[in-house]
Amino acid sequence: MPKMITRSRAEESIKTNIVKKYVQCYGYGNSGTEIITTKSLTIQLKCVVCGFVSHVDMKLTTFTVKNPSETKKTIEG
């Protein structure tokens, strides 16, 4: 019998993947990250625990540049 995936399980899986890709530190796995927009309009995640800096997918970068938050940090880049 094939395993059925319920809607709530599918939604939870999508949420988990989004958090892993756009929130968690790529080096440490911690969710305590700061989103940094560079002057070249790329987005980076900086872990507040280990300091690891990772580059974020272009889709999020495009969305964030078009919909800026009121508070954001900018670094040279």
Reported as a single tens digit per residue, the pLDDT across 52-61 is 998 887 766 6
Q: Which residue has the higher pLDDT, 65 or 17?
A: 17
pLDDT at 39 over 70: yes
pLDDT at 44 over 50: yes
pLDDT averaged over every residue in the chain: 76
pTM: 0.57
Confidence band (pLDDT; 50, 70, 90) for 77? very low
75: helix, strand or coil: strand
